[in-house]
Structure 1
Amino acid sequence: MSATTRRRTIVSAVSAGVLMVGGVLTAGQLEASAAENSPVGYASLNGGTTGGSASTVVTVTSASALKAALSASTSQTVRVSGLISISGMYDVASNKTVIGVGSGSGITGGGLNLSGVRNVIIRNLVFRNAGDDSINVQSNTTNVWIDHNDLASGYDGLIDIKRGSDFITVSWNRLHNHDKSMLLGHSDDNGSQDIGHLRVTYVHNWFEGTNQRHPRVRFANPVHVLNNYYSNIGSYGVASTENAGVFVERNYFENVANPTVTQTGDSDPGNLKVLNNYKVNSGTEQVRNGASVAAIPYSYTPEANNTVKATVTAGAGTGKI
């Protein structure tokens, strides 16, 4: 049985309620989640995130075709074939699914910009050498699922979410060879737009040798950081600032001196609570005002913390869906 077939078989069994073990998923069950067809967490709320039409499909192989397909008003699926070199940030319109063909297709030299749009899925894409951000989500964009991508070596952020954006899930991505990985909330003076928004689920991502911002949070409450694998992190893992509320649950930290911090840069402190994180050669988590971190508003079943490494390294990145 192929790995893909095995994952789909397990998914069916989990859906049927066959494999539950003590309310926490085992490694075998979570391997199945690598083949999810719809997002868990925040992107499943607010009407859900379905992306573009599966019956209107365009395959692109050039920068000009990619730019036109992404910005079209049509609800559609955009299949990216090959590693396409672009310059600058390409705008993505509402109701789009952008998905790579195979494991090596994607974008080099530039990135994707989601500004004031809704219902976008970005999956199975390689991002390399962006001149700015690799993926930038801003200006009250809602319902976005960023899943199973491989991101490295950009100029600024790999996945930045800001300016009142909301209901977003970032799952099963591999981030490596980079400094500032993921920003949530762009500045300390933007509270009027950001408070009550920036609700994001980060689940089953692999941060491999990156330095900081996994994520770095301002204002949002609650943010859910669940079942991610952090390996050989330079500065810190998760940062909560500007009175944000971040719940860091059942992650696997390996060779991470500062798994969580409650202040960084010039920002005021944020609030952070932890639950059952697994640590190997890693420091103590910083926590602050855990009671002020709001309850997670959706149902979920976490993976056991000690199996997260195996699950994430097997399932994160491209070529796994």
Structure 2
Amino acid sequence: MPIRATKIDFVSLHLIYLTGFDMSILVTSASGANGDGYGALLSFRLDGTLIGSFSDDPRIVDPRGMSVSPDRRYLYVNSGNDRILALDTNGTVMRDTGPVSGLNAGGGNLGPDGRYYIGLRSARTIAALPPSLDGAPKSVLPTGVVPYPRGFAFGADGKLFLASGIGPGGEGENNLVVFNPDGELLASRFITDNAVSPLDLTIGPNGNVLVSSEFPFGEPDAVCTVREYDSSNGSLVRVFRADPNISFHRPRGLRFGPEGHLFCVARDTVIAFDFVDGRCLGPIVDLPKLNGQAIAFFA
């Protein structure tokens, strides 16, 4: 895998200072028609240098969403061959659902009840599995609850925020939907933002909702941003933009790093933002054809 040299910048040095050298940046890279990328779970050092595949297990195929367990022992990964895996810090598969017909899982997050939640792109809903990955996924929202689910995350009070975006075939809407901890609908249209097409969603340390956006979705001249919304009323708080001289296209997965910076994976890169003042801190990873889908910090 070719990689352009990436010098250690302020963000990388800060990560290394706070976390030591054992932690890695993990990125799922789409493959084939889904992104023309590597179709692998890639590992990078904190200075952005590519290590290689985090795991060569053949069950990892065109991976998408992933999430680290609260005790940091397991990395849950959605594999494109309709199965969910849990890996240890050595990249060894420790848990496996086995093939689940028609799963087509997108994003993934550990919920406040300890279960692993997955977005089901074909069923247009969200399902959950026990952390042991035993048994079949159980839907927690109705089938077809949104035209095309993108990212989702849980607020501190248990509310579920779901990004309803545009699918590969152009179907969908640009919207956020909110449910209470029991799965009851609280808001069918949480935001009024005419310049957003959500691709992933996370919750900030201040409780607000962060969304990666490519608007209009799929267009060559799409404007790519990360947008912050007030979690109480859906109003737009601020917009994070990459510096004009930085390539920022097809933004997808969002995660906060251990030092509090906000990271967004995209085509060819991972971009960092200072969440406090909104500054773009630049690319921490620079890899042609990365086509990143999700990001995690794991050690």
TM-score normalised by structure 2 residue count: 0.31
Structure of greater relative contact order (alpha carbons < 8 Å, 6+ residues apart) = 2
Instruction: Determine which structure has the larger strand proportion and give its number.
Output: 2
TM-score normalised by structure 1 residue count: 0.30
